[in-house]
């Protein structure tokens, strides 16, 4: 009787969440279709014959994902998937604007990403089951991170060796590796957090842990330096090390770890800038991109991005009406600048607000978790989205030196889209809790 009353009292919130998510999902699909239609109209002054195909693509797949989430994760926060869906839709429209062929590939990767999203929700019925594979997932994550170093399969593109070449397919394994690393860190730190919280020493205002407990920080620093030195990729190195330091800080609530991590990365970055010409050039371009000796040479990409956003102004030149194709690698590294030209400050602010919603919802999920592993995993996955968005947007807007990572859900890139949909599925699983028993037979 008590169980029946509990189920009855829980039913209205589930139905309410389902209704809210359905409305938001339909809105996300409509916004994605509208963005594509406006870009086509602005570019060709007529609608594309492919419009019905993309209507089915976005509306059909988004509603299908809604039904899947309601089936497998009925208590999940209703905003996660619709917000990601809007980002994907706007990114797809801008990719089509920049390169029609790339948009077809992005549509294919979207289907692959949604399949991975569905499979993750189906396989991971309870996020706590991942806690049993701590070191296995950690080794897989580190292996994926360092695989491009291997001769024969590693590919160096635009100065960074972060690609695997498998026939005609180029893939960034670090994109998937970041998810495995987050799961490993959540499990490891949840087990060791009591030891890491012990801080008998002092350095000024900071309490310091015992030297032996600084080992994990130094190990993460070593891995990030390996990425920096061997793969020559400042962005991935910064992202991975920042994720570790943030999760360590969340686990222990010790500001000393945060400060120590910042110092270690600064030392590594200075060492890399003085050792590798590629990293040094990035710093010099960041400092002098608009100066005459840089603007038509090394700083051309960054300068074009600055000019594009300045041209966009408040409201932008209009979808399909600007010239973002003049920015090198606009569909990947500089899609934020392309959006800034055609949608202006209003469009880029909208993108930032969508990321703010994702990060805010993710942190809310982390705070609400009763188990330490779920709390740390939600915080780590959220940190990945927030930090990755900050690193690339900060580079495009010259807040920090430019790096070659992608803007989550928006930039062109199959490996990025695939990894971020897996990450999103895990966040949804954590926010919902274990899958209901009736879903055990779903296949």
Domain spans of the chain, in order of start: 2-441
How many CB atoms within 10 Å of residue 266?
Answer: 10
Beta-carbon contacts of 168 under 8 Å, excluding residues fewer than 6 positions away, are none
Query: Does residue 1 sit in helix, strand or coil?
Result: coil
Residue-wise pLDDT tens for the chain (443 aa)?
Answer: 344 444 444 444 777 778 889 999 999 999 999 999 999 998 888 887 788 888 988 999 999 999 999 999 999 999 999 999 999 999 999 999 999 899 999 999 999 999 999 999 999 999 999 998 888 888 888 888 878 777 767 666 666 666 776 666 777 888 888 899 899 889 888 887 777 766 655 555 656 566 565 566 667 667 766 666 666 667 777 788 888 888 888 888 877 777 777 887 777 777 777 776 777 778 888 888 888 888 888 888 899 999 999 999 999 999 988 899 889 889 988 999 999 999 999 999 999 999 999 999 999 999 999 888 999 999 999 999 999 999 999 999 998 888 778 899 999 988 899 999 999 999 999 999 887 765 444 43
Residue in 400, 361, 378 with CA at minimum distance from that of residue 183 = 378
**What is the predicted pLDDT for the residue at 11?**
42
Write out the H or E segment, with its range, that includes residue 337. Answer: helix 335-368
**What is the predicted pLDDT for the residue at 383?**
94
Residue at token pair 């002054």: 45
Write out the H or E segment, with its range, that includes residue 414. Answer: helix 414-432
Distance CA 202, CA 373 (A): 29
**What is the predicted pLDDT for the residue at 230?**
66
**What is the predicted pLDDT for the residue at 254?**
77
What is the 3-state secondary structure of 54-101? HHHHHHHHHHHHHHHHHHHCCCCCCCHHHHHHHHHHHHHHHHHHHCHH
pTM: 0.89
* Structural contact between residues 434 and 126, judged by C-beta atoms closer than 8 angstroms: yes
Residue at token pair 């919280």: 197
């Amino acid at each position: 009787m008590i169980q029946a009353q509990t189920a009855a009292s829980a039913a209205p919130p589930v139905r309410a969440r389902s209704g809210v998510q359905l409305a938001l999902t339909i809105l996300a699909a409509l916004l994605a279709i509208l963005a594509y239609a406006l870009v086509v109209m602005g570019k060709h002054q007529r609608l594309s014959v492919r419009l019905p195909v993309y209507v089915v693509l976005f509306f059909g797949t988004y509603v299908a994902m809604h039904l899947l989430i309601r089936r497998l994760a009925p208590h999940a926060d209703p905003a996660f998937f619709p917000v990601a869906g809007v980002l994907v839709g706007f990114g797809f429209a801008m990719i089509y604007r920049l390169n029609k062929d790339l948009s077809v590939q992005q549509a294919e990767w979207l289907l692959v990403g949604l399949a991975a999203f569905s499979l993750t929700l189906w396989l991971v019925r309870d996020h706590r089951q991942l806690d049993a594979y701590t070191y296995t997932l950690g080794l897989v994550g580190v292996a994926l991170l360092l695989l491009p170093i291997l001769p024969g399969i590693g590919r160096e593109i635009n100065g960074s060796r972060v690609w695997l070449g498998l026939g005609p397919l180029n893939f960034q394994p670090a994109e998937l590796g970041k998810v495995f690393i987050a799961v490993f860190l959540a499990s490891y730190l949840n087990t060791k957090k009591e030891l890491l919280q012990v801080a008998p020493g002092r350095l000024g205002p900071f309490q310091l842990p015992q030297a032996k407990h600084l080992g994990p920080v130094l190990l993460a620093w070593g891995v990030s330096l390996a990425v920096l030195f061997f793969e020559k990729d400042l962005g991935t190195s910064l992202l991975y090390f920042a994720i570790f330091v943030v999760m360590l800080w969340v686990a222990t609530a010790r500001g000393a770890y945060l400060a120590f991590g910042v110092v270690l990365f600064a030392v590594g970055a200075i060492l890399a800038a003085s050792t590798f010409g590629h990293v040094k050039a990035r710093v010099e371009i960041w400092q002098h991109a608009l100066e005459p000796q840089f603007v038509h040479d090394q700083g051309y990409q960054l300068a074009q991005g600055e000019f594009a956003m300045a041209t966009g102004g408040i409201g932008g030149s209009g979808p399909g009406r600007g010239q973002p194709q003049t920015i090198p690698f606009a569909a990947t590294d500089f899609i934020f600048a392309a959006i800034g030209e055609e949608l202006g400050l209003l469009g880029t602010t909208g993108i930032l607000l969508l990321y703010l919603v994702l990060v805010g919802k993710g942190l809310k999920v982390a705070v609400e978790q009763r188990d330490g592993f779920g709390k740390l995993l939600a915080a780590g996955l959220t940190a990945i989205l927030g930090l990755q968005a900050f690193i690339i947007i900060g580079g495009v807007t010259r807040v920090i030196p430019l790096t070659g990572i992608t803007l989550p859900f928006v930039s062109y890139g199959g490996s990025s889209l695939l990894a971020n949909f897996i990450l999103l599925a895990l966040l949804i699983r954590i926010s919902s809790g274990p899958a209901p028993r009736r879903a055990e037979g779903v296949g």
